[in-house]
């Protein structure tokens, strides 16, 4: 068994560069939302109401269930929370 080195964990678990980039973006958004909830000391029910989702969805967010969230939904949740989302595009290394 040979050991492969990957630049990120996402590259180790996904097959295409597009899937890797998608996971990176979703991960960043999820972490920002989790930090916002913690910083504001919101309950999951309060966060759900603010984000326009259900409490079980907030629970899934807090537990890092990345496969349950698309970029659009996460951007919408961030905007509802009053967070500003920026995107930067650069040439791949």
Averaged over successive runs of 10 residues, the pLDDT of the chain (93 residues) comes to 57 70 94 97 97 98 96 97 92 78
Q: Enter the pTM of the model.
A: 0.82
Rounded to 5°, angle at Cα 89 from 87 and 93:
135
d(CA 40, CA 67): 25
Which residues fall within 8 angstroms of residue 64, CB to CB, at 6 or more apart?
Answer: 30
Select 17-80's CATH number: 3.90.1570.10, 1.20.1510.10, 3.40.50.1820, 1.10.260.40: 1.10.260.40
């Amino acid at each position: 068994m040979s050991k492969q080195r990957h630049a990120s964990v996402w590259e180790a678990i996904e097959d295409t560069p597009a899937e890797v980039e998608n996971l990176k973006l979703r991960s960043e958004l999820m972490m920002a939302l989790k930090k916002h909830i913690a910083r504001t000391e919101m309950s999951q029910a309060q966060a759900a109401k603010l984000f326009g989702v259900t409490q079980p969805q907030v629970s899934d967010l807090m537990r890092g269930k990345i496969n349950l969230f698309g970029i659009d939904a996460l951007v919408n949740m961030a905007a509802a929370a009053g967070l500003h989302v920026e995107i930067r595009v650069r040439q791949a290394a």
